[in-house]
Amino acid sequence: MAQLFPRSADMWLRVVLFLLFGGLIALFAACVVLQRSDYRTDEGWTVDQPVPFSHEHHAGVLKIDCRYCHDNVETSAVAGLPPTHTCMSCHSQLWTGAEMLAPVRQSLAQGEPLRWNRVIELPDYVFFHHGVHVNAGVGCAECHGQVDRMPLMYKAKPLTMSGCLDCHQDPAPRLRPREAVTDMNWQYEGDRRAFGEALMRKYHVRAGNLTHCYTCHR
Ligand code: HEC
Ligand code: HEC
Ligand code: HEC
Ligand code: HEC
Ligand code: HEC
């Protein structure tokens, strides 16, 4: 009987099967890597901005307090991003001709706010409030990392649900005096837990129900 398929067809079938199988393994490996990687949580990624604003320079070297630019952070849910005139309080005198600052001058001239792109954002179904944390003595660095060393802003900590819950289960050892919330170098030599527990009493931090779903999903 004449061969219906040439001998080489068998070989091709093997090659195709081999590629298919290999591809599936590669896809699976890629999923595992992505799931674990920073890609899912955006950790460590920078974002394009109208002006390459440096926290390292302004907050680190110049030591401008966070609240000078994020002035709602103690009272509101949102910290707030600085309006153009906050930049211009210095840059109308400093670096007035710099190309890098052209979008800031243009924003002032046209009365159009600068459009900063957000770096850290929670999904809409999560409730968050800055003021409550700041007043309980939770430092910016607990959630945003060493901002004073960031030439460009990036997300230093994952801020996922388990990240929030880690602290909500046991906030005491992560509290500090309110005066030090924006201090990027604050440290405590001694019994941090006992110190934190005293702060909890002082600031009337209600422990206990902080892990209830409705704290963050309402
Ligand atoms: C309290 C004063 C002050 C404020 C407010 C301020 N800056 Fe600056 N900025 C400076 C100084 C000082 C320098 C550095 C000049 C130098 O090193 O020669 C600088 C440098 C810069 C540079 C040059 C690149 C760099 O970082 O070295 C950019 C861009 C810049 N600022 C953007 C901004 C923007 C945008 C705002 C508003 C969100 C702002 N600045 C607010 C004081 C200020
Ligand atoms: C001179 C003004 C200025 C100071 C001081 C400053 N910031 Fe900012 N901050 C900005 C501007 C402008 C942006 C938006 C551009 C960017 O993301 O870099 C920003 C963005 C941020 C963001 C990211 C917000 C988002 O979701 O996009 C965080 C977090 C932040 N700042 C924290 C801090 C902390 C913590 C300090 C104090 C250690 C601080 N900032 C000091 C001007 C300032
Ligand atoms: C308990 C964690 C936590 C602490 C403490 C904290 N932040 Fe945030 N911050 C967040 C989260 C989460 C977001 C994103 C909020 C959202 O998308 O609704 C955010 C967003 C921001 C933003 C961007 C937009 C906005 O207006 O909310 C700025 C600016 C900011 N934080 C600055 C600060 C500064 C300055 C401090 C310290 C005084 C601080 N944060 C303390 C968790 C924290
Ligand atoms: C490092 C510690 C810490 C981290 C991280 C943290 N929290 Fe909190 N959070 C607290 C403390 C402490 C309180 C209690 C404040 C009080 O009772 O005075 C609180 C209170 C809250 C409240 C209650 C606000 C109200 O209505 O009174 C919400 C909502 C909240 N946190 C959301 C979040 C979310 C969402 C995250 C993660 C993105 C987060 N928190 C991460 C320490 C933390
Ligand atoms: C301290 C704040 C906080 C508390 C308490 C909390 N969540 Fe969340 N939850 C979050 C944050 C933040 C996210 C967003 C996670 C992200 O973007 O990766 C989230 C996401 C989720 C999601 C979306 C799926 C996912 O995992 O990304 C579900 C479902 C959820 N939460 C259910 C619950 C339930 C049920 C409870 C009570 C047992 C609860 N949460 C308590 C902060 C909280």
Give the whole-angstrom CA distance, residue 84 versus residue 64: 16
- Ligand 5 contacts (CB < 6 A) are 122-123, 126, 160-161, 164-165, 168, 211, 213, 215-217
Indicate whether 43 belongs to any domain. no
Indicate whether 158 belongs to any domain. yes
Per-residue confidence band for 60, with pLDDT thresholds at 50, 70 and 90:
very high
- Ligand 3 contacts (CB < 6 A) are 66, 70, 73, 78-81, 120-122, 128, 130, 133-134, 138, 140, 142-144, 159, 181-182
Distance of CA 143 from the midpoint of ligand 2 (Å): 13
Give tens-digit pLDDT for 73-126: 999 999 999 999 999 999 999 888 899 999 999 999 999 999 999 999 999 999
Distance of CA 161 from the midpoint of ligand 5 (Å): 5
Angle value at C-alpha 158, between 152 and 163, nearest 5 degrees: 145
- The crossing angle, in degrees rounded to 10, of helices 84-91 and 102-110 is 120
When divided into structural domains, the chain yields a total of 1
Indicate whether 64 belongs to any domain. yes
Indicate whether 91 belongs to any domain. no
Distance of CA 115 from the midpoint of ligand 2 (Å): 14
Per-residue confidence band for 199, with pLDDT thresholds at 50, 70 and 90:
very high
Indicate whether 36 belongs to any domain. no
The confidence score (pLDDT) of residue 18 equals 74
By residue range, what is the domain housing residue 195? 55-81+116-216
Give the whole-angstrom CA distance, residue 6 versus residue 17: 18
Give tens-digit pLDDT for 157-176: 989 999 999 999 999 999 99
Q: What is the mean pLDDT of residues 27-39?
A: 60
Indicate whether 1 belongs to any domain. no
Indicate whether 165 belongs to any domain. yes
pTM of the model: 0.90
Indicate whether 18 belongs to any domain. no
